[in-house]
Amino acid sequence: MTRQRSGAASRSSGAAGGKPEPLSESSEMYLQVIWRLTERGCEASVSDIARAMGHSLSTVSEKIAKLTERGFLRHEWREGVSMTPRGRKAACRTIRKRRLLETFLFRKAGYGIHELHEEACRLEHLISERFADALDRMLGYPMHDPHGHPIPARDGSVRKEPLEALSAVEEGRTVRIAQLRSADPEVLEYAARLGLLPGKRCTVMQKAPFQGPLTIADGSERVAIAFEIASIIDVQAPDEERFDEAGGGSEPFPPPAWQSAGQ
């Protein structure tokens, strides 16, 4: 019970340093994108950011300069872009809102996993910290969104978990799907149709050479999936439960689509 109480408290406690500085929707989007690009590394290039944003290099360079002046980013001429602690905290505030909104839409509003990104993207810039806190409480302080991504705490901290791509799993290993690293609606809808959602346990039966398809099994059910799909599915060992500290047990995930249909 101590772990449950401490988990809920850390998720709902007030942010240090007073009220956060207001940011424009454009600035929030830039910080989110840069946070994602630098999450597993230290820096992102201006060209990578421009590609992710779909903006010209000159537009991106100008925005980066402004965010650097305000203390959200670090950037020197011809060097990579990195985030300051202030920038990471600001990015995670918006990411927290998005992932809480996605969880609400999925659990309470009947949205499919492939329908969440666009809707939450519109709403995340409109809701207040107070509303995000209310969503967090109502949903029981979830630790992960429907895609399996960790929901940042209110103080901007993000839970780190050891994961690997399904495409890298050796034949014969049984793993549990932890998260889907894609915002492509068609890819997510396809994964959901096959039941490849967070929480699903499966065994890699066969891997074709030269990045060919993988055959995976869940009991007697077998399915072949493309290497590209397996590459965006992160997994972990089946005994590594993603404990929901506030909920008192494993994160509640929906059953696979084929199981729900009674096949």
Least confident of 91-100, 199-208, 211-220, 242-251: 242-251
pLDDT tens string 42-88: 899 999 999 999 999 999 999 999 999 999 999 988 789 999 999 99
**Are 151 and 135 in contact, with CB atoms under 8 Å apart?**
no
Which one-letter amino acid corresponds to residue 100? Answer: L
On the question of pLDDT at 246 being above 60, the answer is: no
**Are 204 and 173 in contact, with CB atoms under 8 Å apart?**
yes
Calculate the average pLDDT of the chain: 85
| pTM exceeds 0.85, yes or no | no
Give bridge partners of residue 256 from the DSSP assignment.
Answer: none
pLDDT score for 79: 87
On the question of pLDDT at 215 being above 70, the answer is: yes
Rounded CA separation 119/122 (Å): 5
**Are 176 and 236 in contact, with CB atoms under 8 Å apart?**
yes
**Residue 234: which pLDDT band, with cuts at 50, 70 and 90?**
very high
> In 3D, which of 170, 228, 169, 234 has the Cα closest to residue 197?
234
pLDDT score for 186: 95
| Full DSSP string of 173-204 | -EEEEEEE----HHHHHHHHHTT--TT-EEEE
**Residue 261: which pLDDT band, with cuts at 50, 70 and 90?**
very low
C-beta atoms surrounding 209 within 10 Å? 5
What's the sign of the alpha-carbon dihedral 255, 245, 113, 194?
negative
State which of 4-18, 131-145, 147-161 shows the largest mean pLDDT: 131-145
To the nearest 10°, report the CA torsion of 66, 71, 72, 78.
Answer: 60
Bigger pLDDT: 22 vs 262: 22
**Are 216 and 222 in contact, with CB atoms under 8 Å apart?**
yes
pLDDT score for 19: 67
Q: Given the structure tokens 């809920």, which residue do they identify?
A: 8
**Are 104 and 131 in contact, with CB atoms under 8 Å apart?**
no
For helices 85-108 and 129-138, the axis angle rounded to 10 degrees is 50
CATH 2.30.30.90 fits 164-250, yes or no: yes
pLDDT tens string 177-195: 999 999 899 999 999 999 9
Mean of the pLDDT values across residues 237-245?
64
Token pair for 31: 């910080």
Bigger pLDDT: 165 vs 161: 165
pLDDT score for 39: 84
Rounded CA separation 152/147 (Å): 14
pLDDT score for 241: 61
The reply to whether 164-250 shares the fold of 8-160 is: no
pLDDT tens string 2-41: 333 334 444 444 444 456 778 999 999 999 999 999 987 7
Pick the CATH number of 8-160 from 1.10.10.10, 3.40.1550.10, 1.20.120.80, 3.30.9.100: 1.10.10.10
To the nearest 10°, report the CA torsion of 7, 117, 194, 160.
Answer: -30
**Residue 249: which pLDDT band, with cuts at 50, 70 and 90?**
very low
Rounded CA separation 158/35 (Å): 12
Q: Domain spans of the chain?
A: 8-160, 164-250
195's CB contacts (< 8 A; 6+ apart) are 218, 255, 256, 257, 258, 259
203's CB contacts (< 8 A; 6+ apart) are 172, 173, 174, 175, 216, 217, 218
